[in-house]
Structure 1
Amino acid sequence: MADRQGPAERVITSVRRLLATLVATGETRLRLAVLELEAERDRMLSLLLMAGAALITFSFAIGMLLLLLVVMYWEDHRLLAIGLCSAALFVIAALCLYGAKRIAKRRRLMQSTLSHLAQDRQALGGSRESS
C-alpha cells in the first residue's frame, strides 16, 4: 500500500510522523519539567518548615543566653554586657545574610530538563552552544 502513495502523500505522511515525534518529545520534556518543579516545591516546603522551626528555637536560645549574661553582669557592667550582646547579634546576623546570599546564587531548578533540552538540540544538529 505504501507503493501506491504518490510523492505528495509520502511527504504528508512523513510530516505527520515528524510532528507526532516532536509532540511526543515535547510532552516528555514537559512531564520531566513538571516532575522537577513538584519535587523542588516539596523540597522547598520541607526546607522552609525546618528552617522556621530552627530559627524560632535558635532565637529563644539566644534570647535566654543574652538575658543570662545581662543578669550576671547587672551590678557591675550592665551597659558593657548589653553592648557586647548586641554586637554579637549583629555579627551573627551578618554571617547569616552572607550564607543566605551564597545559597540564593546557586541554581538547581530544572537542571535535568535544561540538560535534556541541550542534548536534544545537539542531536538535531543545532549549532548554538548552551550558555
Structure 2
Amino acid sequence: MAELPQTRAQGPAKGVLDIAQRIMTILVSMVETRVRLAVIELEEEKENLVQLLIMAGLTLLFTAFGLMSLLLLIFWAVDPAYRLIALGATTAVLLLLAIIGAITTLARARRSTLLGATRKQLELDRSALEGSDESPPVP
C-alpha cells in the first residue's frame, strides 16, 4: 500500500499552531542574535583587557626602573648629612602617589560597564515585548 503524505492539521487548530510556530521561530532568532552579540562583545573586551594588561605591565616595569635610577641619582647628589631626610621625603611622596593611583583606578573600574550594548539591546527588547512606547532608561 502506498503511504499517504503527511499533511498539517486542518481547521481551527492550524492557525494557532502556525502562530505558535512563528512566535517560537522569532524568539529563537532573537535569542540567537543576542547571544551572538554578547559573544562578540566578550571577545572584544577580552582583547582590550589583554592589550591593556600588557601595556600597563610594561609601563609599570619601565617606570619602576626609571624611578629607581632617578632615586639613586638623587641620593648620590644629596649631601651625606641630609640623605636620610631625602630618603624619607621621597618615600612619603611615592606612597602618596601610590594611594592616589589606587583610588583613581578603583573609581575607574566601578564606572566601567561590561556588555553595555547587549544590556541596552535586551532592555529595548523587553520594552518592545511589554508594549511600552517609552524608551528604556540609559544605564
TM value normalised by structure 2:
0.84
1:84 alignment partner in structure 2: 89
RMSD: 1.9
Cross-structure match for 2:30 = 25
**Larger Rg over CA atoms:** 2
Residues 3-32 of structure 1: per-residue CA shift (max 9 Å, x gap): x83111211111011001100000000000
Q: Which runs of 5+ in 1 are unaligned?
A: none
What residue number does 2:125 align with? 120
Q: What is the number of equivalent residue pairs in this alignment? A: 128
Moved more, 49-58 or 91-100: 91-100
Aligned match of 2:103 in 65, 75, 98?
98
1 or 2, which has the higher helix percentage? 1
Structure 2 unaligned segments of length 5 or more: list them.
1-8
Partner of 1:110: 115
Of structures 1 and 2, the one with the larger relative CO (CA 8 A, separation 6+) is: 1
1:17-68 CA deviation, whole Å, 9 max, x = no partner?
1001100000000000000000000000000000100000011111111111
- Greater shift, 66-75 or 36-45, is seen at 66-75
Aligned counterpart, 1:9: 14
Query: 1:45 aligns to what?
Result: 50
What amino acid does structure 1 have at the position aligned with 2:122?
Answer: L
More displaced 10-residue stretch of structure 1: 9-18 or 47-56:
9-18
